[in-house]
Structure 1
Amino acid sequence: MLEAKNVSAAFGKRIVFSDVSLSLNTASVYCISGPSGCGKTTLGRILAGLNRPKAGEVTFNKRNITSTETWPVQYLYQSPLMAMNPRWQIRKIIAESGPVDTEISRTLGIETEWETRYPHELSGGQLQRVSILRALGAKPRFLIADEITSALDPVAQAQIWQLLIKLTEKYSLGIVAISHDESLLSRIGAANNHFRLGV
């Protein structure tokens, strides 16, 4: 279980949010929404152990998220290029987090010919598939998906989320979708696990 206990965040003297508590289970889809500037991305990064909260604690199976020996929570960026070395071929990027699972690679529709290409040579939808495959190489229990399809066309958007939901069911992953798009959050089936920040 991934838990946030009375978590607060601040930038300098400005409090972004305070006393947020969540309990998240694997094999489930959750969503976090809210207006711009309410701290959705900050909360996502705290849940993934990338940022430290001003107060409170995030734990995975009762252990502080920053003290775990593995990376049980992986963070997927809105722009995958932010997390990719532009000088690396896709093959090296995918292998960065661990051995490639060929079954997951096939499920995501990763093409063999992509392996020798560089990030700028792939489309946004292709890059998100690569980003998901790399994240799953670390064998996480949760994925934080921060506006990952907001820059994609509706067809690519639907494809990416269909794949993620399929992987959630098959590998008992927990997914936290961060988005301002309420209709998207409804379509991916997280209506009963919806946390609205800043409202």
Structure 2
Amino acid sequence: MLKVNNISFGYHRDYWIFDEISLELKPGEVLGLYGSSGIGKTTFAKVVAGYLKADKGSIVVDGKTPLQKGRNPVQLIGQHPEKTINPRWLMKQVLKESGDFSAEFLQELGISQEWMQRYPSQLSGGELQRFCLARALVPETRYLIADEMTTMLDAITKAQIWETVLQLVEQHQLGMLVISHELSLLEKTCDRILDFQELSGGSSAF
């Protein structure tokens, strides 16, 4: 289980971006986190995934505090895949950095072998996002955070990616935190939904 225990984060002491938020995510569960843009959801995601350090509180993954070295069992996928990929590398190099992936797994994610010889600028946002998913879904991953993962994609690509991701989550019994301002998306994909703005004062479920 992923346990977020009363975490707070701010850039200075007089202003908290969020304060004393707690939640629990079970293996195999898809949990939605709803909130409007600009209220700190992305910062919260980065703290839970280990990109930023909480000023207060703790994060426990399957009974352990995540290690600073090695691959984090909590992986984050954001809405701008182009910002997380080296533009000078061929896509085969991008994947190689994270490990070896079977042809079957890449096919399952809808990644064409033809894309391997292309640079990021030669692929669409949806195609790049599939590579980000592949890099996140390594064997060490137990929990996945999708922060507005498909917001920038067209409706068809969005549906295809969500179908694939939810199948993999169920197959590997991953816990998944879906962060979005689209309540309709959360209602379609999640087992339960929490309101980000209300978490500080006690969780509210839809």
TM-score tier by shorter-chain length is over 0.9
- How many residues align? The count is 197
Which residue is 1:6 aligned to? 6
Aligned to 1:48: 49
1:195 is matched with which residue? 194
Q: Which residue of 2 aligns with 1:157?
A: 158
For the aligned residues, what is the CA RMSD?
1.4
Deviation at 1:132, TM superposition (A): 0.3
What are the Cα deviations for residues 14-39 of structure 1, in whole angstroms up to 9, with x where unaligned? 11111111111111111111122221
Asked if 1:74 is matched to 2:97, the reply is: no
- Residue 186 of structure 1 is matched in structure 2 by 187
**How many angstroms apart in 2 are the aligned matches of 1:37 and 1:153?**
22
**Structure 1, unaligned runs of 5 or more:** none
Q: Which amino acid aligns with 1:61?
A: D
One-letter identity of the residue aligned with 1:185: L
Structural mapping, 1:83-102, within 5 Å: 83-102=84-103
* Residue 57 of structure 1, CA deviation: 0.6
Local SS of the residue matching 1:27: coil
For residue 66 of structure 1, report the CA deviation from its aligned partner: 4.2
Letter in 1 for 2:161: I
Matched residue, 1:15: 16
Name the stretch that deviates more: 102-111 or 173-182. Answer: 102-111
3-state secondary structure, aligned to 1:64: coil
Contact 1:71 1:138 in 2 (8 A): no
- Deviation at residue 68 of structure 1 after TM alignment: 6.5
Q: After superposition, what is the alpha-carbon deviation per residue over 1:24-66, rounded to whole angstroms, capped at 9, x for unaligned?
A: 1111111111122221111111111111111001111222224
| Percent of matched pairs sharing the same residue | 37
Cα distance in 1 for partners of 2:71, 2:109 equals 24
Contact persistence 2:47–2:54 (CA under 8 A): yes
Q: CA deviation at 1:101?
A: 3.2
Alignment of 1:97-176 (within 5 A): 97-137=98-138, 139-176=140-177
Deviations 1:49-100 (A, max 9, x none): 1111110011112222244643201111210011100000100111211111
Counterpart contact for 1:99–1:137, Cα < 8 Å: no
- Whether the aligned pair in 1 keeps the contact of 2:86 and 2:94 (CA below 8 Å) is yes
Deviations 1:167-196 (A, max 9, x none): 0111111111111000011111x1x42121
1:121-151 deviation digits (Å, cap 9, x = unpaired): 1111111111101111353011111111101
Could you state the TM-score of these two structures normalised by the residue count of structure 1? Answer: 0.93
| CA displacement at 1:103 relative to structure 2 | 2.6
- Judge which range, 128-137 or 60-69, deviates more: 60-69
Q: In the aligned structure 2, how far is the partner of 1:55 from the partner of 1:101?
A: 41
Which aligned runs of 4 or more in structure 1 are off by greater than 3 angstroms?
A: 66-70
Q: Tell me the secondary structure at the aligned position of residue 141 of structure 2.
A: coil
Does the 8 A contact of 1:101 with 1:137 survive in 2? no
The answer as to whether partners of 1:28 and 1:173 remain within 8 angstroms in 2 is yes
